[in-house]
Amino acid sequence: MSAVDSVRDRLDALPDVGLVVGFIASIWAVMLVLAIAVGGANWANLAVGFIGSVTVLIGGYAILALALNLQWGYTGLFNIGIAGFMAVGAYTTAVLTAPTDPAAGAVPGLGLPLWVGLIGGMAMAAIIGGLAALPALRLKADYLAIVTVAFSEIIRLVVNWDGLAEFSLFGAPVGTGGATGISFKSANDVAAGLVNGVGQPLVTAADGIGVSGPNLANLTYGVILLLVVAASYWVLTRITNSPFGRVLKAIREDETVTQSLGKDTRRFKIKTFMIGCALMGLAGVLFRGQAGYISPQQFRPTITFYVFAALIIGGSGSNTGSIIGAATFSGLLFYLPARLGENISLGGTRAPGNIIDAVGGLASLDPLPLLAYIISNVSTLRFVLIGVVLIYIIQNQPEGLLGHRNEPATSVSLDRPQSRSGGEADE
Amino acid sequence: MSEPDAAKRQETAVTSDAIDSPLLEIDGLRKEFGGVVAVDGATFSVAEGSLTGLIGPNGAGKSTTFNCITGIHEPTGGRVTFDGQDITGLAPYTLANRGLVRTFQIARELSDMTVLENVMLAPGGQVGESVVRSVTPGLRGDVIRDEADVRDRAWETLEFFEIDHLAHENAGNLSGGQRKLLEMARVLMTDPEMILLDEPLAGVNPTLEEKLLERIHELRREQGLTFLLVEHDMDVIMNNCEHIIVMHQGSVLAEGDAETITSDERVLEAYLGGDV
Amino acid sequence: MGIAEFARDGRVVLGDRPGAAVVAAVSGFLLLDLVAKLAGTTVFFLGTRLLGGSLTVGSLLSMVVDGLLVGLAVGLAGIGLSMTYSILDFANFAHGDTVTAGAFLGWVAAYITAGLGTGAPISELFMLNSGRQLSTVSTFLPVLLGLVVAGVGSIGVVLLVDRLTYRPMREADNISLLIASIGVALAMRYLIAFVFGTQTSGVASGGLRVTVLSTVSVTDNEITLLVVSLLLMLGVHLLLQRTKLGKAMRAMADNEDLARVTGIPTERVIRLTWILGGSLAGIGGYLLVLESGTISFNFGWILLLLIFAAVIVGGIGSIYGAMAGGVLIGLVDSLALIWLPSGLSRASAFLVLIVVLLLRPSGIFGGVSTA
């Protein structure tokens, strides 16, 4: 039994909620240790800062991974246009909630409350997803992949276009802000409001150990995001553990057979695609638009591949795996290396500005310049790591951490019924 | 299966040669692939409640005919009528909902799902196939009730085919014969009126073959199901089918009972002369 | 054929293939608009401008030239993508970064060669940082050397990547290979960023301007791109048609199992596919940088979707398709400026890609053969 199999067995033994909570708690612990190690007297504030930021990342990627898992892990729809649907959600919310009389030079909007904006964003993302799905879902997986990424880029180019920076919607002035982006109601403000309102005692206590208000607010936001993840997980689990989910799995396995058994697979695929896109739209607002500002640069296709990496690490086909994968990816591969790079220094060695100088040190048997260069460029190197991890997983452990689980697509227990009337006669 | 439906079907079960109540009618069916004519004006009928065989040498067009009937291919010409309604070119899922289902020659089990999941997939009109009903707290109760019924029916069906001990096994781990049984169990769960069987006994051992045929006859007797069977095993066809259709080079060469067919010179010639 | 029959047939065609009908209608409209613009007339309808505007023949020609040049380089790069898609049977999302890698290798070689003896420190030259802009005319040998290094260096890169990533997965399904290629793309791109940084460097600019047809001006760098692309395409054509190897590659693209059975050494053919595709990708990248004048760590990645568009429009597996598709997409990308604002012109190429995939996924040259 290989090491991975024994890890898997141990993971399987734990109940899902415990698994997820434990995983995230471990990441928090790692952040705490790092803060203590490098923070000196400021360790508490640094710890809250780290934990808050990493939690927001985990939350955002978890929602996206759950959405992609529904579309691809369950139904086999290879959507790499995630960034585009995030943009649709975020920009719809922005247009709906931006102030009607903004500061000079800023883009106006319809000034509606944030919750209206969120619903609108999700609905729009679902609608656009449905429209894209109608012609595209009959394509085979790799063609669908190319179409979705092309579509996502078209969306980005459209919101980047200065022609739409300001326009008129039924007489009301609105806009996308073009390349400079748009400011709108900030979701973060909700967290800050909570903290400064009911959380006031906590703020005072935190202040006592040196933790700043904004850091605390960010941490609160991260926790709120995790609650959104929990809600999404609840909804998605109900969808997948049901006859609907069963049909989705069947479609991924063999669409012809599923049709021959009387299922209108097209309708199932479109519904699934729309639900997934709605979630991606939500993530677009709550993740990219946390601070109430978005711009086209935040919706490049690359984020799609990070979500893919997260899902594959965690195990495609498993809802719990999606969250675990997102936590692993964002915590350990994305956030941690960057913080390490920032905070590790080699005595007094200054990092060379370019690789030639860094390697030059080796000529005189001095590894420090190269090491210093590597450390100062960890932000770049972590993506190399992510790429390598992705390759390794797909070659050796394509099911990721939890993809091997057969989560039964049913809403009842599958045990043999105890009372059978006259069943014996058939034997 | 529900009692009243089964009783009703039993009344209309046919055991004679006469096709006086055809359930399935093929009229002048034609299918071209590019320049190749695979089916060239095939015409025949299948009586309700019968076990009809479709035979012919390799390349006769049997599988293509099957695929045209079941909506996998769209016919280039001709008409298919089922239960009095024109079903030519309709999508597979529509046909299944009208009671016409098929099994596949190479068993297409959904390998990453368990046997039980495979079988529970099949019934139509499941309440839980609606997203809204699956999620909404109040409505999910209906889903759970319906699922329980489906589950119970599934267990019964698996027991009928004696593969209930494999219920929680991944379908991909089954042996060839077990997969055939699973195919049959699955289509049966759709509560069909007619089943098209595409070489169901290929690669099946004699004991299993006997069991399968026994089940098919039982289903005909008890529930009045109609079967159209494509098979290469002549003995099986001759011994079990009351009506046999012989295809050759894309069209129907002869039809009748076993005696009529075996004494038809054209049939003998087709098999001996035109064998691929 | 009577009018009635023609109308009936027409309705059947339009009804059966609404997508094709829409494409035809849109193309017709655009063509009319182009003619109107060239004529300098404007057609109004109910107070809004429907057709026309103004466009000089000179601008049109220079757009055509621009599109043609970029299209040729994209087509060269696309040959490798097309071949990988058909012979190795997966969509290689790392192809754009191969283009980048080859370009960097070539330009560093060119820069260092050109900078020898000028006293500039090696680190500056390596980082493409000396501010010097090369042109074919003024630094002919370095540019030529860079071209060769780009081609040869890319071969090393793709063979290494194949050895490490794809060869252990030869039997895997095409989606797994696609995902692996995404990993390769990330790793390659950020290794390049690690070595060369994330800035954009200006490395080339035209040294000599030539006026063609008394309206369009092209630089020496652009002429180099044209000549090299055409020569290479000719070379590839000869390779495929005249050599045993070329025939083997065409056979393999059609049917790998058949090729194995008839004894064509497929591992060797796969290696040669990488060699040919990789070198052309690197050279394509090098030429693109020569023409545009700037290089950055992710320029190939940004171009990837355009290269995919070229390959799919031309027909996957068809080398001639990749060349034609490249030119076509280049022209679409460039000529879109006639009708669309510059912020949206790139979207036109993507739209063409989507339309082709939906309506005619086999592309112009359809089918699977590599010829």
Model confidence pLDDT, tens digit, residues B72-87: 888 988 999 999 899 9
Å between C310 CA and nearest CA of chain A: 12
The mean of the pLDDT values for chain A is 87
Looking at per-residue pLDDT, the higher value among C132 and A339 belongs to: A339
Query: In chain B, which residues have their Cβ closer than 8 Å to the Cβ of A426?
Result: 156, 159-160
Distance CA A377, CA C278 (A): 28
Structural fold of domain C56-359:
ABC transporter involved in vitamin B12 uptake, BtuC (1.10.3470)
Q: Are strands A172-174 and B51-55 parallel, antiparallel or unpaired?
A: unpaired
Distance CA A51, CA A57 (A): 10
Q: Average the pLDDT over each of A161-170, B68-77, C129-138 and give the range with the smallest value.
A: C129-138
Quick one: pLDDT at residue A422?
A: 38
Q: Average the pLDDT over each of A324-328, B251-255, C101-105 and give the range with the smallest value.
A: B251-255
Token pair belonging to B81: 């009528």
- Tell me the sheet residues that pair with C218: C210
Mean pLDDT of A182-210: 84
- Is the pLDDT at C267 greater than 90? The verdict is no
The HSE-up count of residue B139 (CA atoms within 13 Å, CB side) is 13
- Is the pLDDT at B272 greater than 80? The verdict is no
For CA atoms C119, C122, C128, C134, the dihedral sign is positive
Global pTM? 0.88
Q: Average the pLDDT over each of A145-159, A246-260, A351-365, B238-252 and give the range with the smallest value.
A: A351-365
Query: In chain B, which residues have their Cβ closer than 8 Å to the Cβ of A248?
Result: none
Quick one: pLDDT at residue C8?
A: 62
Token pair belonging to C262: 């008839």
Distance CA A376, CA A123 (A): 43
What three-state secondary structure class fits C2?
A: coil
Query: In chain B, which residues have their Cβ closer than 8 Å to the Cβ of A423?
Result: 156, 159
Are B128 and A406 an interchain contact pair (Cβ–Cβ within 8 Å)?
Answer: no
Mutation test of the interface with chain A: which of B72, B108, B110, choosing the one with the most A Cβ atoms within 10 A?
Answer: B110
Q: Find the residue in B nearest to A265 (Cα).
A: B93
- Is the pLDDT at C369 greater than 60? The verdict is no
Give the ranges where chain C is alpha helix by DSSP (H): 3-16, 18-39, 57-83, 95-115, 122-126, 140-161, 174-196, 220-242, 244-254, 256-261, 266-292, 299-314, 319-335, 345-359
Token pair belonging to A160: 């980047």
Quick one: pLDDT at residue A360?
A: 79
Contact call for residues A81 and A151 (beta carbons, < 8 A)? yes
Quick one: pLDDT at residue B9?
A: 41
C230 Cβ neighbours under 8 A, 6+ residues apart? C72
Å between B164 CA and nearest CA of chain A: 9
For chain B, counts of helices (H) and of strands (E)? 11, 10
Å between A147 CA and nearest CA of chain C: 6
Quick one: pLDDT at residue C253?
A: 65
Looking at per-residue pLDDT, the higher value among A88 and A212 belongs to: A88
Q: Please, which pLDDT band fits residue A157 given cuts at 50, 70 and 90?
A: very high
Quick one: pLDDT at residue A250?
A: 93
Contact call for residues B149 and A416 (beta carbons, < 8 A)? no
A28 Cβ neighbours under 8 A, 6+ residues apart? A51, A54, A55
Are C184 and A387 an interchain contact pair (Cβ–Cβ within 8 Å)?
Answer: yes
Distance CA C341, CA C350 (A): 15
Long-range contacts of A167-170 (CB under 8 A, 24+ apart): A169/A95, A169/A110
Buried b (16+ CB within 10 A) or exposed e, C270-297: bbbbbbbbbbbbbbbbbbbbbbbbebbb
Nearest to C197 by CA among C292, C296, C302: C296
Å between B157 CA and nearest CA of chain A: 10
Strand ranges (E), A100-257: 167-169, 172-174, 182-183
A75 Cβ neighbours under 8 A, 6+ residues apart? A248, A249, A251, A252, A268, A269, A272, A273
- Is the pLDDT at C124 greater than 80? The verdict is no
Q: Find the residue in B nearest to A317 (Cα).
A: B112
Query: In chain A, which residues have their Cβ closer than 8 Å to the Cβ of B121?
Result: 243, 246-247, 250, 258, 261, 263
Looking at per-residue pLDDT, the higher value among C30 and A385 belongs to: A385
Å between C175 CA and nearest CA of chain A: 7
Distance CA B3, CA B10 (A): 11
- Is the pLDDT at A424 greater than 50? The verdict is no
Establish if A51 belongs to a structural domain: yes
Token pair belonging to C347: 């979207």
Are A388 and C187 an interchain contact pair (Cβ–Cβ within 8 Å)?
Answer: yes
Query: In chain A, which residues have their Cβ closer than 8 Å to the Cβ of B104?
Result: 257, 260
Nearest to A88 by CA among A249, A260, A289: A289
C9 burial level (CB within 10 Å; 0-12, 13-18, 19+): exposed
What range defines the domain where residue A281 resides?
Answer: 25-300
What three-state secondary structure class fits C202?
A: strand
- Is the pLDDT at A34 greater than 70? The verdict is yes
C15 burial level (CB within 10 Å; 0-12, 13-18, 19+): exposed
Query: In chain A, which residues have their Cβ closer than 8 Å to the Cβ of C127?
Result: 354, 356
C4 burial level (CB within 10 Å; 0-12, 13-18, 19+): exposed
Contact call for residues B12 and B224 (beta carbons, < 8 A)? yes
Domains and CATH numbers, chain B: 3-109+192-273 (3.40.50.300), 114-173 (no CATH)
Token pair belonging to B218: 């039982």
- Tell me the sheet residues that pair with A87: none
Q: Is B134 on the interface with A (CB under 8 A)?
A: yes
Distance CA C343, CA A177 (A): 13
Quick one: pLDDT at residue C280?
A: 95
CA torsion, ordered B40, B44, B49, B50, to nearest 10 deg: -90
SS3 assignment for B70-86: CCCCCCCEEEEEECCEE
Q: In Å, what is the CA distance from B140 to each residue of A217, A237, A242, A252? A: 37, 13, 9, 25
Distance CA A95, CA C265 (A): 60
- Is the pLDDT at B130 greater than 70? The verdict is yes
Mean pLDDT of C81-86: 88
Are B156 and A420 an interchain contact pair (Cβ–Cβ within 8 Å)?
Answer: yes
- Is the pLDDT at C79 greater than 60? The verdict is yes
Residues of chain B with pLDDT > 70: what percent? 91
Indicate the number of domains in chain A.
1
Are A260 and B92 an interchain contact pair (Cβ–Cβ within 8 Å)?
Answer: yes
Q: In Å, what is the CA distance from C108 to each residue of C124, C222, C299? A: 10, 20, 16
Q: Find the residue in A nearest to C354 (Cα).
A: A147
Query: In chain C, which residues have their Cβ closer than 8 Å to the Cβ of A157?
Result: 343-344, 346-347, 350
Q: Is B149 on the interface with A (CB under 8 A)?
A: no
DSSP state of B256: E
Nearest to C188 by CA among C211, C227, C230, C160: C160
Nearest to C341 by CA among A94, A168, A165: A165
Q: Is A2 on the interface with B (CB under 8 A)?
A: no
Are A161 and C182 an interchain contact pair (Cβ–Cβ within 8 Å)?
Answer: no
- Is the pLDDT at C139 greater than 80? The verdict is yes
Q: Who among C122, C194, C361 is closest to A377 (CB)?
A: C194
Quick one: pLDDT at residue B262?
A: 84
Strand ranges (E), A326-392: none
Amino acid (one-letter) located at C314: G
**Number of neighbours of residue A115 by Cβ within 10 angstroms:** 11
Q: Please, which pLDDT band fits residue C245 given cuts at 50, 70 and 90?
A: confident
Q: Who among C91, C188, C358 is closest to A136 (CB)?
A: C358
Distance CA B92, CA B85 (A): 15
- Touch criterion met for A and B (3+ Cβ pairs within 8 Å): yes
The HSE-up count of residue A56 (CA atoms within 13 Å, CB side) is 23
Are B144 and A261 an interchain contact pair (Cβ–Cβ within 8 Å)?
Answer: no
- Touch criterion met for C and B (3+ Cβ pairs within 8 Å): no
CA angle A201, A204, A207 (to 5 degrees): 150
Contact call for residues A32 and A47 (beta carbons, < 8 A)? yes
Are A243 and B120 an interchain contact pair (Cβ–Cβ within 8 Å)?
Answer: yes
User: Could you tell me the residue ranges of all domains in chain C?
Assistant: 1-55, 56-359
Are B108 and A411 an interchain contact pair (Cβ–Cβ within 8 Å)?
Answer: no
Å between A193 CA and nearest CA of chain B: 31
Distance CA A216, CA A222 (A): 10
Distance CA C72, CA A399 (A): 41
CA torsion, ordered C179, C181, C183, C186, to nearest 10 deg: -130
Are A163 and C343 an interchain contact pair (Cβ–Cβ within 8 Å)?
Answer: yes
Looking at per-residue pLDDT, the higher value among A58 and B233 belongs to: A58
Q: Average the pLDDT over each of A115-119, A275-279, B151-155, C215-219 and give the range with the smallest value.
A: C215-219
Q: Who among B120, B135, B156 is closest to A423 (CB)?
A: B156
Query: In chain B, which residues have their Cβ closer than 8 Å to the Cβ of A275?
Result: 131
Q: Who among B72, B152, B187 is closest to A256 (CB)?
A: B72
pLDDT of A50-83, one tens digit each? 999 999 999 999 999 999 999 999 999 999 999 9
Quick one: pLDDT at residue C12?
A: 58
User: With a cut of 0.90, is the ipTM above it?
Assistant: no
Looking at per-residue pLDDT, the higher value among B164 and A404 belongs to: B164
- Is the pLDDT at C149 greater than 90? The verdict is yes
Q: Please, which pLDDT band fits residue C9 given cuts at 50, 70 and 90?
A: low
Contact call for residues A417 and A341 (beta carbons, < 8 A)? no
Q: Who among A239, A254, A262 is closest to B96 (CB)?
A: A262
Q: Please, which pLDDT band fits residue A296 given cuts at 50, 70 and 90?
A: very high
Mean pLDDT of B219-237: 88
Mutation test of the interface with chain C: which of A252, A395, A399, choosing the one with the most C Cβ atoms within 10 A?
Answer: A395
C205 Cβ neighbours under 8 A, 6+ residues apart? C133, C135, C219, C221, C293
Quick one: pLDDT at residue C368?
A: 45
Mean pLDDT of C316-338: 89
A379 burial level (CB within 10 Å; 0-12, 13-18, 19+): middle
Helices A213-240 and A243-253, axial angle in degrees (round to 10) = 80
- Is the pLDDT at C264 greater than 70? The verdict is no
Quick one: pLDDT at residue C252?
A: 67
Q: Please, which pLDDT band fits residue C13 given cuts at 50, 70 and 90?
A: low
Query: In chain A, which residues have their Cβ closer than 8 Å to the Cβ of B101?
Result: 260-262
- Touch criterion met for A and C (3+ Cβ pairs within 8 Å): yes
Are B102 and A260 an interchain contact pair (Cβ–Cβ within 8 Å)?
Answer: yes
Name all chains with 3 or more CB-CB pairs below 8 Å to chain A. Answer: B, C
Are C354 and A381 an interchain contact pair (Cβ–Cβ within 8 Å)?
Answer: no
Quick one: pLDDT at residue A41?
A: 83
Distance CA A377, CA A369 (A): 12
Distance CA B42, CA A227 (A): 63
Q: Find the residue in A nearest to B110 (Cα).
A: A253
Query: Ranked by mean pLDDT, which of A290-294, B5-9, C118-122, C357-361 comes out on top?
Result: A290-294
Q: Who among A271, A423, A427 is closest to B131 (CB)?
A: A271
Å between B194 CA and nearest CA of chain A: 13
* B 52-91 → A contacts, CB under 8 A: 70-72, 91
Are A163 and C195 an interchain contact pair (Cβ–Cβ within 8 Å)?
Answer: no
Residues of chain C with pLDDT > 70: what percent? 88
Are C343 and A153 an interchain contact pair (Cβ–Cβ within 8 Å)?
Answer: no
What three-state secondary structure class fits C18?
A: helix
